[in-house]
Amino acid sequence: MSQRPRISGRVREREEDTVLASRARWGDSSAFHELYSRYAPRVFSLALGILGDRFAAEDVVQDTFLSAWRHIAAYESAQGSFAVWITHIAHNKTVDILRRRRRGQGHQVPGTVEDLLALLPDPRPGPDQQSETRWASERVREALGRLPASYREVLVLAYFYGYTHQEIARHTGHPLGTVKTWIRQGLEALRGTLEGGGL
Amino acid sequence: MTHAEVRELLGAYAAGAVDAEERREIERHLPQCRECRDAAAELLRAASYLAEAVPERDLPADLWPRLHLMMRREGEPGAFASRGKRGVLVLATLVLLALGGGVAWEGVQIRRLQQEVEATRAILLLEQNVMSRVLPGTTIVELRPTAAAQQARGIAVVRHEDGGSTLVLLVAGLPPVPPPSVYQAWLVKDGARTSAGVVRVGRDGVGILQYRVPQGLHGYQGLGVTREPQGPAEAPRGPRVLGASL
């Protein structure tokens, strides 16, 4: 597994990703393999964290990268890094699985946001964690913890528990427009905190 | 879904909080709207940080072989797959030959097979990112196709020297056009288009153009190729088929 460098290394890494994606677009599977090595652990961990099921998480990795291989020509580095693009694909696939499962189980009302956050995997070091990714994980959790509770709640319900803005509005009793605004402002505040802090 | 409705939903879209139909509608809107695309890019970057809140775990080792097998069954990605590496190798060779100078353009295509041997070396140089050391003062830009010519690919090589710039544009996968139609290259500066000349495209879809900019390319923001139905034009009138930011 590649270890991703912190802060200054991210710019260089993004430039390398752009070159690799460009090579992959021309059919270079070794370049695509390098992108896989860099980002498949993140995709796997995200899917595992949300779904709690290793087999389903492996399916998400395969579906995500197969989809990326098929559609690599659509990737535009000017519109964002490869990391963001692949994470978005993976998250959508993960949420789709979660929602299909939920449909089969009937409607569930989630617990408090603190309960939900506590259900995510433990950020303390596991045997297979690189210190770099552990550091990033802790930083993001800290940043989430510093957000206003209203922003934190809607972001956690949306991102980690796959609820739509309409479902969140129903669960929390907040107006739909407010939920949409909080999600957007929560993301902007999170980015401001993390990028201001040099993540 | 209107522009305003999409704008309002972009945060939810980035956080995965839209349903499948809303996602489809937003993704239909984004390619047509620069404002929403830029806003979405910022929000998606923010959302990607959330993925990092989940601690990273090791990946099962057998996943890549399984995926690789599936990729091989699918074939190479993108519309250029049928030309694939052969196409890029030819282009890379042409780049090196062009920059080496003294090339008789008319003879280039005749020597294609011979060039492919050279191209193997050329693409290795490109892949190792040592082009700048081999050819100092050289910039390489990949041109992307538009919906008007999805099979097309292009590479522009800019060599900066003596205060000026020489642009060598190589294209492939462009369908032949009947006269008087031509493919024409344009440089973009502050919204104004300056012709860089006609790109002569052969029956095999490969074309090449060399253009000298005595004052240099500083200040130019873009490079594009259009299909001009009435022949060479003073300003682009036909559809853009390739484009890149400089």
Phi, psi (deg, nearest 5) at residue A62: -65, -45
| Sites in chain B below the pLDDT cut of 50 | 78-90, 98-134
* Interface contact A98, partner B, CB < 8 A: no
Helix axes A176-196, A165-172, angle to 10 degrees: 110
Rounded to a whole number of angstroms, the CA Rg of chain A reads 17
Residue of A nearest to B8 (CA): A180
Point out which residues pair with B167 in neighbouring strands.
B158, B211
Point out which residues pair with B145 in neighbouring strands.
B242
Q: Where are the domains of chain A?
A: 7-106, 110-199
**Average pLDDT of the segment spanning A130-139:** 73
pLDDT at site A113: 55
Nearest to A180 among B9, B51, B72 (CB): B9
The confidence band for A10, taking pLDDT boundaries of 50, 70 and 90, is low
Q: Cβ–Cβ of B70/A62 closer than 8 Å?
A: yes
Most B CBs within 10 Å, among A140, A187, A191, to test the B interface: A187
Q: What is the mean pLDDT of chain A?
A: 81
Alpha-carbon distance of B187 to B222, in angstroms, equals 6
The domain made up of A7-106 has a fold known as Rna Polymerase Sigma Factor; Chain: A (1.10.1740)
Q: Which residues in chain A have Cβ-Cβ distances shorter than 8 Å to B130?
A: none
Q: Cβ–Cβ of A70/B80 closer than 8 Å?
A: no
The domain made up of A110-199 has a fold known as Arc Repressor Mutant, subunit A (1.10.10)
Are B77 and A62 in contact by the 8 Å Cβ rule? The answer is no
Phi, psi (deg, nearest 5) at residue B163: 80, -10
Checking B133-142 for CB contacts under 8 A at 24+ apart, the result is B135/B99, B135/B159, B137/B161, B138/B99, B140/B95, B141/B223, B141/B244, B141/B245, B141/B246, B142/A22, B142/B244
Q: Respond yes or no on whether ipTM tops 0.95.
A: no
Alpha-carbon distance of B195 to B242, in angstroms, equals 14
Alpha-carbon distance of B219 to B216, in angstroms, equals 9
Point out which residues pair with B154 in neighbouring strands.
B143, B171
Q: Which residues in chain A have Cβ-Cβ distances shorter than 8 Å to B142?
A: 22
Most B CBs within 10 Å, among A84, A190, A195, to test the B interface: A84
Residue of A nearest to B43 (CA): A187
Phi, psi (deg, nearest 5) at residue B144: -105, 145
Q: Which residues in chain B have Cβ-Cβ distances shorter than 8 Å to A48?
A: 54, 57
* Interface contact B100, partner A, CB < 8 A: no
Phi, psi (deg, nearest 5) at residue A14: -65, -40
Interval A51-84: pLDDT, tens? 888 889 999 999 999 999 888 877 876 678 899 9
Alpha-carbon distance of B196 to B116, in angstroms, equals 28
Structure tokens at B97: 């030959």
Are B17 and A163 in contact by the 8 Å Cβ rule? The answer is yes
pLDDT(A15) > 90: no
CATH top-level class of B80-87+130-245: mainly beta
- Which residue type does A107 have? H
The whole-angstrom distance between A155's CA and the closest CA on chain B is: 7
Are B79 and B161 in contact by the 8 Å Cβ rule? The answer is no
Structure tokens at B34: 């620069």
Tell which B residues from 195 to 234 touch A, by Cβ distance under 8 Å: none
Q: Cβ–Cβ of A121/B54 closer than 8 Å?
A: yes
The confidence band for A105, taking pLDDT boundaries of 50, 70 and 90, is low
Q: Where are the domains of chain B?
A: 3-51, 80-87+130-245
- List Cα–Cα distances, B30 to B1, B10, B38, in angstroms: 11, 10, 9
- Which residue type does B71 have? M
Alpha-carbon distance of B51 to A79, in angstroms, equals 19
Enter the pTM of the model.
Answer: 0.61
